[in-house]
């Protein structure tokens, strides 16, 4: 997993442990994806699947074939994403400016594309495998369903990962 951390301000919080990042990718309930919408970004929470193709990380999503996010992706496919898992809040004796929360997060940018029909089965299977916690299972999906859905791939261009962990 290639992580680009040179822009991270708190270098002491960089997380480059592939096993830990894989746990986050496998266990986070959803990710947030932000897209450009003129004056303000538009952010949506999405269920996802993922896989590594060589060194490239690809995320897969499904949903409506039309709507605001789809229109924005078609207008500008460059997006940003966030996956985070909160940990416990750590209160200090003097809590002002000394209290914090543990976390693990991945932030990044990618390029979104709508998948052609011949690539959709694989994408939906990656989503199902993640939520079923079974990387070997296969499913059959009706071709009409795959054709009617919006099924998308985000190829990650850059990402960084941070963690805050307070020993107990």
Confidence of residue 113 (pLDDT cuts 50, 70, 90): very high
Contacts of 33 (CB under 8 A, 6+ apart): 43, 44, 46, 61, 69, 79, 80, 81, 112, 154
Helix (H) or strand (E) holding 65, with range, is none
Whole-Å CA distances, 94 to 90, 97, 98, 99, 101: 11, 8, 7, 8, 15
* pLDDT value of residue 117: 95
pTM of the model: 0.84
Q: Which residue has the higher pLDDT, 65 or 1?
A: 65
- Give burial (CB, 10 Å; 0-12/13-18/19+) of 24: middle
Confidence of residue 120 (pLDDT cuts 50, 70, 90): very high
Contacts of 111 (CB under 8 A, 6+ apart): 77, 78, 79, 154, 155, 157
Alpha-helical (H) ranges within the chain are 18-27, 68-75, 117-132, 143-148
| 10/161 Cα distance (integer angstroms) | 11
Dihedral Cα 152, 77, 107, 138, nearest 10 deg: 10
* pLDDT value of residue 11: 54
Question: What tokens does 158 get?
Answer: 């850059």
| 94/62 Cα distance (integer angstroms) | 47
* pLDDT value of residue 9: 61
The model's pLDDT over 8-60, given as tens digits with 9 standing for 90+, comes to 565 555 556 677 778 888 888 899 999 999 899 999 999 999 998 988 999 99
* pLDDT value of residue 166: 59
* pLDDT value of residue 16: 64
In this predicted structure, the answer to whether residue 141 has a pLDDT above a threshold of 60 is yes
Range among 101-110, 121-130, 154-163 rated most confident: 121-130
User: How many other CB atoms are there within 10 angstroms of residue 2's CB atom?
Assistant: 12
DSSP per position, 75-107: H--EEEEEEEEEEEEE--SS-TTT-EEEEEEEE
* pLDDT value of residue 75: 95
SS3 41: coil
The model's pLDDT over 51-108, given as tens digits with 9 standing for 90+, comes to 989 889 999 999 999 999 999 999 999 999 999 876 656 666 766 766 665 657 888 9
């Amino acid at each position: 997993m290639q992580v680009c951390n040179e822009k991270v301000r708190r270098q002491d919080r960089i997380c480059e442990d592939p096993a830990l990042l894989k746990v986050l990718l496998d266990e986070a309930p959803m990710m947030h994806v932000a897209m450009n919408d003129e004056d303000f970004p538009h952010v949506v929470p999405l269920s996802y699947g993922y896989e590594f193709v060589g060194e490239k990380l690809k995320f897969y999503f499904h949903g409506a074939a039309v709507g605001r996010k789809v229109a924005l992706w078609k207008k500008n496919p460059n997006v940003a994403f966030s996956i985070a898992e909160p940990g416990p809040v750590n209160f200090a004796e003097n809590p002002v400016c000394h209290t914090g929360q543990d976390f693990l997060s991945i932030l990044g940018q990618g390029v979104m594309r709508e998948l052609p029909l011949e690539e959709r089965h694989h994408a939906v299977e990656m989503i199902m495998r993640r939520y079923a916690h079974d990387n070997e299972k296969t499913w059959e999906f009706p071709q009409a369903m795959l054709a009617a859905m919006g099924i998308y791939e985000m190829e990650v261009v850059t990402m960084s990962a941070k963690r805050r962990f307070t020993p107990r």
